[in-house]
Amino acid sequence: MADCASDLFGSVAEDYAAFRPTYPEPFFSAFAARCPSLQRVWDCGCGSGQASIDLAKHFEHVEASDASAAQLSQAPSHPRIHYRQVPAHACGLAPASVDGVLVAAAVHWFAGDAFNQEVRRVAKPGAAMAWIGYLPLQLEREALQSHIDHFYETTLKPWWAPERRWVDDSYAGLPFPGEEWPFPKDWWIERRWTLAELVGYFRTWSAVEQATRDGFDPLPALIEELQELWPGQGSEAITIRWPFMGRWGLITACP
C-alpha cells in the first residue's frame, strides 16, 4: 500500500484481519493453473494475509509483502509464507524469481509505472499477474441496502480517497503490465453476518477511518438506522454478498 493507505489501514489492522472477506477458492485454483510453475508467488499489498493463506494451498513459497507493519502483525504464520515489510515498487525479490504476482484489494493504492517495472523485474517468463477485489456489498433486503448505499455514496463521499474510483470501476483504466485474459464473471463472495459483524467490516473502510480522524464518527447514526430494520434488531445473521471482480493476464516485457 502507499504510505497514506498504510497509515489508515494500520490503524484498523485488528478489524481488518477479523472482518475483511476472503476470496473465492476456485479463483486461486484457476490462477495457479495459469502460472508456469507452482514454486513461488508474490502476494503484493498482502495486508493481514487473507489471500496469502489461499495462495499457500497451491504454491510452495508465498512471498507476502505490505508497507504496513501493523497489518503484517495480524497475518497468520504459515510454513509456506514469508512476510516482509516493503513498498510495492521495491519488494527486494530476486529478478525472474516468481511464477505469479497477486494483488488483492490493494492495487489502486500503488498501480503505475514503478510498480509495473518491479513486477516485470521479478517475474519469470510466462508468469501470471492478477488484481482481485470486490464491488460494494449487496443485500436482499431493499430497505437495508438503501441505507448502506447512502452511507457509501453520500455520507462518506468527503472522505473517500481519489483512488477509490478505481475499485468502483473494477480497476479499469489502470496500466496493466501484460497481455490480459477475460476475467471470470458471475463469481461472488458471500457471508452470513450479524449487524455487529457488518459494522466491524465498515470500520475497516479507509473513509470511515479518515472521517473519525477528522472528528466525525459516521457509524453510530448508521447503526441506529440499520438496527431498526435488521432482523432481531441486529442479532440475526443475514446473507451479505460482494460481486467478485478483477483483472489478470500474462506479464510481458515493456513494449
Crossing angle of the two packed helices 3-11 and 206-213, in degrees rounded to 10: 80
For the chain, the domain total comes to 1
Taking residues 100-105, report their average pLDDT. 98
- Closest by CA to 108, choosing from 203, 188, 172, is 172
Average pLDDT value for the chain: 94
- DSSP character string of 82-94: EEEE--TT---PP
User: What is the structure's pLDDT at 4?
Assistant: 52
Q: Residue 9 pLDDT more than 90?
A: no
The per-residue pLDDT for range 190-219, each reduced to its tens digit, is 999 999 999 999 999 999 999 999 999 999
Nearest-angstrom CA–CA distance, 70 and 73? 5
C-alpha cell at 133: 477485489
Range of the domain at 14: 3-251
Taking residues 46-60, report their average pLDDT. 97
What is the CATH number for 43?
Answer: 3.40.50.150
CB 53 within 8 A of CB 76: yes
| Of the listed ranges 11-20, 103-112, 174-183, 220-229, the one predicted with least confidence | 11-20
C-alpha cell at 249: 493476464
- Closest by CA to 99, choosing from 65, 63, 126, 60, is 126
User: What is the structure's pLDDT at 1?
Assistant: 45
* Run of H or E residues at 246: strand 238-251
Q: Which long-range contacts (CB under 8 A, 24 or more apart) does 57-62 make?
A: 57/28, 58/28, 58/29, 58/31, 58/32, 59/32, 59/35, 59/99, 59/100
* Run of H or E residues at 131: strand 123-134
User: What is the structure's pLDDT at 232?
Assistant: 97
Q: Residue 39 pLDDT more than 70?
A: yes
Nearest-angstrom CA–CA distance, 29 and 130? 13
Q: How far does Cα 78 stand from its chain's mean position?
A: 20
Q: Residue 11 pLDDT more than 60?
A: no
Q: How far does Cα 183 stand from its chain's mean position?
A: 16
